[in-house]
Each structure stands twice: as C-alpha cells, then as structure tokens.
Amino acid sequence: MTNAEFNLLAAFLAAPQRVLTREQLLNLSRLHNDEVYDRAIDVQVGRLRKKIEPPGTQDHLIRTERGAGYVFTAVVEIVR
C-alpha cells in the first residue's frame, strides 16, 4: 500500500459512514500541497478498493455517492 493509499484509508477510518467530498479526501490524504486535480482522488480510491475489497463482492467498503463524494461503509470501533 502506498503512502497516499494509507493516508486515504486513514481518512476514511476517521470518518466512517460519512460522506467525504473529493476536496476533503485530498486535504486529508496528501502528504504535501502540490496542485492536484480532484479527479486524482478517484484513481486513488479505485486502487484502494482493489487492495481492501475481496474480488467479486457486491458490498463495497467504499461507496460512491454521486455528486457528493465517497463513504466508507464499514462500522469502525475505536478500542482504547
């Protein structure tokens, strides 16, 4: 998993079951502030999906909300 994918996953885990816009995901997952197109996040989400979702599954861990962004659908429990 690349640093960008790890940071993206961390952003999803910090806000489970909430819609995160592309802009929010870019801000939360970038290591530096280079000029990046918001569609670049779509590529990163696609790569992350391939790594964390079982092949052929119908239930996606990362769901696309058209016109809004992405949602990490799994329940996340913080253990202290």
18-47 pLDDT, tens digit per residue, is 999 998 998 887 755 666 676 788 999 999
Reported pTM: 0.84
Residue 35, pLDDT score: 63
Distances (CA, A) of 3 to 39, 48, 68: 18, 11, 25
Distance CA 8, CA 60 (A): 16
